[in-house]
Amino acid sequence: MKSWTVHLHDTRPPVLVREGFAWGAASAGPFWFMAHSAWMLGALVLASDALIAVFTEEETTIALLLVAHWCLGLWGHDLRRWALRLRGYRVVHVVAARDADGAFVRLLSVRPDLADLYMPAAQHPVGAA
């Protein structure tokens, strides 16, 4: 089982962020952050990668980028939570599940009112809410 933090915003759908190592952040770096709408973090990582590549020698560049991206993997989800907090999200729950879909099901079993943020009433599986 994996743990997921649930982040709510007043006008946007909830966001689930998994605990643990962020392999996407470690391998794709800035593009992983940008894919998760953390644009400023993505830009900062891209700029730092470019600075490392430009101002260091080849062996040093490889070592520094490996260390930097390992750190992104360690702290990627935490940085994503920070970016969500800056956008007005707040942590309201922690759920445990095997995958993201299971985490959403658990969240909606505790907070069925959040289903309206995902689909209109006519599309609810049990009919109009």
Helix orientation angle between 39-55 and 58-86, rounded to the nearest 10 degrees = 170
Mind listing the pLDDT tens digit for each residue in 14-64?
899 999 999 999 999 999 999 999 999 999 999 999 999 999 999 999 999
Mind listing the pLDDT tens digit for each residue in 69-126?
999 999 999 999 999 999 999 999 999 999 989 998 898 888 888 777 666 544 545 4
pLDDT of 122 = 44
Question: DSSP character for 21?
Answer: -
Do 81 and 15 form a contact (C-beta atoms < 8 A)?
A: no
pTM for this model (two decimals): 0.81
SS (H, E, C) 47-68: HHHHHHHHHCCHHHHHHHHHHH
